[in-house]
Amino acid sequence: MKKNKISKNWVNKQRRDIYVRQSKVDGYRARSAYKLIEIDEKFKIFKGGLSVIDIGAAPGSWSQYAFKAAKSGRLISIDLKKMEPIGNSVQIKGDFTEKKIQEEIKKNLSDKVDVVMSDMAVDTTGIKNVDSIQTGELCKEAMFFAKGLMKDNGYFVSKIFMGSTFNEIVAEGKKYFKEVKVFKPKSSRKDSKESFIICRKIR
């Protein structure tokens, strides 16, 4: 009964959400596209010809925006789930934390990349501190992986949650990058603890 009530609340929230409605108009697969759009508007990340890696890409709204914004660039999308194709982008199905998947990503690169981005989060347990810690670990792993693939002036963008690991992740970012910012887009739900870390210029 309680589960049904939660499901109904979620459905009602989705119906009222302007970003959910707008995503259907604009052809994006999820409302999360608007978070990346806001990040790009503020930090001027994307331009034509960029090479981009999207970690935890499904259902693909970030990849959709990156493919459009990077125009003639190269896009590699990775996720545990299978995604619908996006243009001529490369899609890799698997767990990016596994060595074999990381090697497959590298095999699809001919040069260092301009942007590594991640909207990954673990399946939530409902225990906010646990969710924050686990998603934080994913962010740190993505950051460590990204710095070995990125151009010196490249960008790393990742979801993080406010919580016990927040300061640790920001400190980790400052260890690897010269510029580190934290930003919460307006399209991020008010009751969500998520923010995004934007890192640039490898040390």
DSSP code of residue 122: P
Q: Is 127 helix (H, G, I), strand (E, B) or coil?
A: coil
CB of 12 closer than 8 Å to CB of 6: no
CA atoms of 119 and 73, how far apart (whole Å): 20
Residues in the chain: 203
CB neighbour list of residue 164: distance below 8 Å, 6 or more residues apart:
129, 132, 133
- In this structure, what are the phi and psi dihedrals at residue 86, rounded to the nearest 5 degrees? -125, 100
> Does 201 qualify as catalytic in the annotation?
no
Task: Report CA dihedral (107, 112, 118, 122) to the nearest 10 degrees.
Answer: 40
CB of 36 closer than 8 Å to CB of 123: no
CB of 138 closer than 8 Å to CB of 177: no
Strand partners, 54: 77, 117
Which of the following is catalytic: 81, 128, 159, 201? 159
Catalytic residue numbers read 159
